[in-house]
Structure 1
Amino acid sequence: MAGDRRGWRVCLLGGAVFAVCMTGTTLPTPLYPLYQEKFGFSELTVTVVYAVYAFAVIGVLLLVGNASDAVGRRPVLLWGLGCATASALCFLCATGLGLLYAGRLLSGLSAGLFTGAATAYVMESAPPGGASRATFVATAVNMGGLGCGPLLAGVLAQYAAWPLYLPFAVHLALVACSACVVLWLPETVGERRPLTTVRPQRPGVPAPVHPVFGPAAAASFVGFALFGVFTSVSPAFLAQSLDVTDHAVSGLVVALAFFSSTGGQLAAGRAGVGRSLPLGCVGLFAGLALLAGALHWDLLALVVLSAIVGGVGQGLAFRGALSAVGGASPANRRAAVISTLFVVAYTGISVPVIGVGLLTDPMGLVGAGLVFIACMAVLVVTAAGYLLRRPVTARA
């Protein structure tokens, strides 16, 4: 019993460190309008600055995503916290676009290092029989941390001094505390190897997984694309179209999407993969429809509903996608297939968001948003239609 309590304490502390790291990755979200005002750049630049983060995550996942299997979890977590520290310093010292790009790049490197290492650490630290609960802890603190970033920055920017500096100073203090925690935590990798033994992972999808991977990847792509639009351009839409200049409100709207995703993931565990993936597609379509209504009628209530409904749909779809793809994959290729799914998901965060930025000048923010919604709706409806004809189940 004492061993179980210690195991859960270590598991939860590892989860708390994970949440702190992910908080930093979304911290700038409600601050982009302030950066635009200070440096005078366009909406396209905002989306590119945001997308740099996703490209960095993809690069780390492909090149050194398995580094913690070799050198241990704790060293990789410390590297991730080091990148998070450097990212916060870039934002604190930013005098132009160069340091904003650097800050987002370093933030992506931090998230890429943490995604695999922290998830594995939380799951490995759980007592025997606690694997399912630990998996939920890992996914919940990931999405919960992403939600805390815009909420923390929005509240500090609205109600405290130095809106472009205080959020990152607070995050630096949290990162320092997290580093102390990681130094205390026990290592979970027994036999460690030198970093030189780490090789880039080659994503791949074996032929037997193709029928499952297509709809799972499409739903993941749409879910992450919806999050990408919320975190990159929704503060600008709230300010320009709805006259919502309260940074705490814009941060809360984005946070609701991530918190709702955690709820969707919890529901997915109860619904099972056979139902959670198609239900997630329905939720994503409803979230897109609500967002279209919000853009067309300029209604804040529909923006909030879109964040909640779309977030639940994303949580259902992504946990269902992971279960379906993992269950259909051969054991010796499972890690590579899941890495491929994450690459598709993070591509959804970056490419459509840049597309919205490119269309904003000729079509306006509302027009660009409606084009994005139409494209994503086609993808998610196609995936849902396929799943209705060929339901999937997790086999492992």
Structure 2
Amino acid sequence: MTVRTGPPRRPGSPAAAGVFAIGMAGTTLPTPLYGLYRQQLGFSELTVTVVFATYALGVITVLFGAGNLSDATGRRPVLFTALGLSAASAGCFLFEGGLGLLLLGRVLSGFAAGLFSGAATAAVLELARPGRESRAGFAATAANMGGLGCGPLLAGLLAQYAPRPLALPFLVHLLLLAVAALVTWFLPETVAHPHRPRSLRPQGLVIPPAVRAVFAPAAVAAFAGFALLGLFTAIAPSFVAQTLGVHNLAVSGAVVCTVFLGSTLGQALTGRIGVRAALPAGCLILVVGLLLVGTSLATVSLPVLVAGALCGGIGQGLAFRAGLTAVSAAAPPEHRGGTLSAFFLVAYLGISLPVVGIGALTMALGLRGAGLAFAGCVIAVAVTVGGYVLRRPLPAHRPT
């Protein structure tokens, strides 16, 4: 009989990815429920996009003001703070106290996502065993997108087929957050000398000079891809219900989940085709997906919308993982958390600004017209950055 000696093995990269996924799932949990809130509170489509953008504003605020916090204090304290903010957000939705609490809940959810984005990604990468860095990189990006996709699917299923549709999804998420907190307690700290920052004032985000040439095209591609994600998480459920006449919340959640499923698939493909080819290929496939989304809006077709979600998600996933890999590889270790946070900041600008524009255009052009205008604008961005990286390819880093 072999007797093991030494301390028990502590959870590593897969466990950190699980925490990441649970945290991100809470940020999209309300997506299929907005229609119910509209009926209960009586607000417009513009208000829905403002509520959604409030979340993105919270993300951007944290990424800009505290995106590099985990580089100083350590990954675990930041993860615990993010989990606490997620729980507070769920509590706001459980009270169902009107538009004010919805906005507060979304802001808190944005704060949590902002902390998760840099700290959890860095933790997953740094906890990888030697030789498994590529697998850990996929785990980090898949946990991000997979968690975002599971949120609306879980909420849609519970809201459609279980009691208390505006409460049960958040109660289930609180239980998952408790499990994630327990796992985080046992995660090893990856920052060598964690310490309290000298000042609590926002430090902003500084992109190291060595990263800037890679950062610009990668971040713009992420902006375009996340704009597509914003369209589906903010507008797709309304389009499915109001234009297509499908009022099943599980279907709405599944449609939104499809774009994130495509993203995860695209990230998996990045490892096969390489970073240098993945970014322009991702932009091209993203354009095809947006053309399909535009066609679905013009022809009022659910199957074409699902096809556009899957295709656009694949393109977004290819470009996202390629950009994240290039930026992470170029960033010095002591600035990795802050640099990744800057990358996510640009990406979340893609979720917030275009989505609010759609909400405003909806008042004048209707849901279909606003969606078509949006698709045209994002296609222009994706074509521009795709053409740029074809002329100036990214370094041939191994996908992380």
Indicate whether the TM-score tops 0.5. yes
Q: Is the 8 A contact 1:8 1:127 kept in 2?
A: no
Shift in CA distance, 309/89, structure 1 to aligned 2, threshold 3 Å: same
Q: Which amino acid aligns with 1:143?
A: M
Shift of 1:68: 2.0
Q: Which residue of 1 aligns with 2:295?
A: 293
Counterpart Cα distance in 2 of 1:88 and 1:218: 32
Alignment of 1:76-155 (within 5 A): 76-155=78-157
TM-superposition CA deviations, 1:144-186 (whole Å, max 9, x none): 1111100000000110111111100111111112222222333
TM-superposition CA deviations, 1:243-296 (whole Å, max 9, x none): 111100110111111121111111112211211011001111011000000000
Shift in CA distance, 299/147, structure 1 to aligned 2, threshold 3 Å: same
Shift of 1:19: 1.1
Select which of 169, 172, 176 maps to 1:170. 172
Shift in CA distance, 173/335, structure 1 to aligned 2, threshold 3 Å: closer
Q: Is the 8 A contact 1:326 1:394 kept in 2?
A: no
Q: Which amino acid aligns with 2:18?
A: A
Work out the percentage of aligned pairs sharing the same amino acid. 55
TM-superposition CA deviations, 1:68-105 (whole Å, max 9, x none): 22222222111111101100000000221100000000
Select which of 236, 251, 265 maps to 1:249. 251
Shift in CA distance, 275/301, structure 1 to aligned 2, threshold 3 Å: same
Q: Which residue of 2 aligns with 1:387?
A: 389
Counterpart Cα distance in 1 of 2:227 and 2:29: 18
More displaced, 69-78 or 166-175? 69-78
Shift of 1:336: 5.2
Q: Is the 8 A contact 1:50 1:350 kept in 2?
A: yes
Q: Which amino acid aligns with 2:69?
A: A
Q: Supply the RMSD in Å over aligned alpha carbons.
A: 2.2
Counterpart Cα distance in 2 of 1:204 and 1:76: 19
**Which TM-score applies when normalising by structure 2?**
0.92
Shift of 1:52: 0.9
Q: Which residue of 2 aligns with 1:348?
A: 350
SS at match of 1:129: coil
Q: Which amino acid aligns with 2:117?
A: T
Q: Is the 8 A contact 1:64 1:198 kept in 2?
A: no
Shift in CA distance, 108/7, structure 1 to aligned 2, threshold 3 Å: farther
The total of aligned residue pairs comes to 393
Q: Which amino acid aligns with 2:162?
A: A
Shift of 1:356: 0.1
Shift in CA distance, 323/123, structure 1 to aligned 2, threshold 3 Å: closer
Counterpart Cα distance in 2 of 1:376 and 1:311: 14
TM-superposition CA deviations, 1:96-151 (whole Å, max 9, x none): 11000000000011111111222222222222222221121111111111111000
Q: Which residue of 2 aligns with 1:233?
A: 235
Counterpart Cα distance in 2 of 1:185 and 1:167: 27
Counterpart Cα distance in 2 of 1:147 and 1:263: 12
Counterpart Cα distance in 1 of 2:211 and 2:197: 31
Counterpart Cα distance in 1 of 2:183 and 2:394: 41
More displaced, 329-338 or 49-58? 329-338
Q: Is the 8 A contact 1:292 1:370 kept in 2?
A: yes
Shift in CA distance, 182/147, structure 1 to aligned 2, threshold 3 Å: same
Q: Is the 8 A contact 1:49 1:101 kept in 2?
A: yes
Shift of 1:331: 7.3
Q: Which residue of 1 aligns with 2:41?
A: 39
Q: Which amino acid aligns with 1:40?
A: G
Counterpart Cα distance in 2 of 1:152 and 1:122: 24
* More helix by percentage: 1
Q: Is the 8 A contact 1:284 1:380 kept in 2?
A: yes
Shift of 1:219: 1.6
Shift of 1:212: 4.3
Counterpart Cα distance in 2 of 1:135 and 1:74: 19
Counterpart Cα distance in 1 of 2:334 and 2:182: 36
Q: Which residue of 1 aligns with 2:57?
A: 55
Shift in CA distance, 199/135, structure 1 to aligned 2, threshold 3 Å: farther
Select which of 235, 260, 263 maps to 1:261. 263
Q: Does 1:317 align with 2:319?
A: yes
Counterpart Cα distance in 1 of 2:270 and 2:31: 28
Shift of 1:383: 1.6
More displaced, 384-393 or 264-273? 384-393
More displaced, 38-47 or 132-141? 132-141
Q: Which residue of 2 aligns with 1:161?
A: 163
Q: Is the 8 A contact 2:122 2:336 kept in 1?
A: no
Counterpart Cα distance in 2 of 1:252 and 1:177: 25
Counterpart Cα distance in 1 of 2:153 and 2:296: 21
